[in-house]
Amino acid sequence: MRSKSAVILANGSFPVHEIPLNSLKSSECIVCCDGAINKLETAGIEAHAIVGDLDSLSDDLKRKYQDIIHHFSNQDTNDLTKAVNWCLANKINDITIVGATGERDDHMIGNIFLLPSYTKKMKVKMLTDYGIFTPVMRSRNFDSYIGQQVSIFSPQAETIITTANLRYELTNQKLDMLWQGTLNESMGDSFRIDFEGNSLIVYQEYEK
């Protein structure tokens, strides 16, 4: 595997927004969670690897794609994590995840809050049909635009957060509940989040 980057297609709703869809179409390496191959076929896009426990693949598809199937039967991780681990094993360290939301709300929530565990090992982001989820391990600036809708999720309630250039500023504040950092808004072409703690997940809406 020569590519150092890949797009992982999860088995949620297939992307329709041009940003995740173009990311998928232009990728040099598409790693498909097993059940998502049906949607990828319908879209006429070629997979480079199919990863998972194969419980969502028909016998016909198993035969058709036998040369690129990578079977992992471990039930302690979901297929998205299996795909991420396959990328790591193949020295791919820049991942874009699409198709990880929609269809099942519980899967969607689980996929989003797995992001911090992935970013400890690689660069990763998740594109939906509405915006981008970025897990962060340290304070940083974010490119933005005036009026962009922004939400901050703190998986660890003890994390202390300070923001700059958001409508509703946080100053050395903890987010005790997940909803408390949602529905904020950028005031310019960038904003900053400083924090002391393990990780945050930042959501930014696409420009309309």
Q: What whole-number distance in Å separates Cα of residue 76 and Cα of residue 15?
A: 27
The pLDDT profile of the chain, 208 residues, written as one tens digit per residue, is: 556 999 999 999 999 999 999 999 999 999 999 889 989 989 999 999 999 877 777 788 888 888 999 888 776 778 899 999 999 999 999 999 999 998 888 889 999 999 999 998 899 999 999 999 999 999 999 999 999 999 999 998 899 999 999 999 999 999 999 899 999 999 999 999 999 988 999 999 999 8
**β-bridge mates for residue 190, sequence order:** 143
Which of the 8 DSSP states describes residue 186? B
- Nearest Cα to 151, choosing from 122, 193, 117, 111? 193
What pTM did the predictor assign?
0.92
In this structure, are residues 5 and 24 in contact, taking their beta carbons and an 8 Å threshold? no
- Nearest Cα to 121, choosing from 199, 177, 64? 199
Domains of the chain, first to last: 5-130 (3.40.50.10240), 137-205 (2.60.120.320)
Pairing of strands 30-33, 5-9: parallel
Rg (the chain; Cα; Å): 18
Q: What whole-number distance in Å separates Cα of residue 148 and Cα of residue 134?
A: 15
Task: Provide the pLDDT for residue 2.
Answer: 58
Task: Provide the pLDDT for residue 3.
Answer: 61
Phi/psi of residue 41, nearest 5 degrees: -60, -45
**β-bridge mates for residue 164, sequence order:** 192
Q: What is the dihedral of CA 115, 121, 123, 126, to 10 degrees?
A: -20
Task: Provide the pLDDT for residue 62.
Answer: 83
The single-letter code of the amino acid at 145 is Y
Would you list the DSSP string of 26-75?
H-S-EEEEGGGHHHHHHHT---SEEEE--TT--HHHHHHTTTTEEE---T
Q: Which residue has the tokens 């909803």?
A: 179
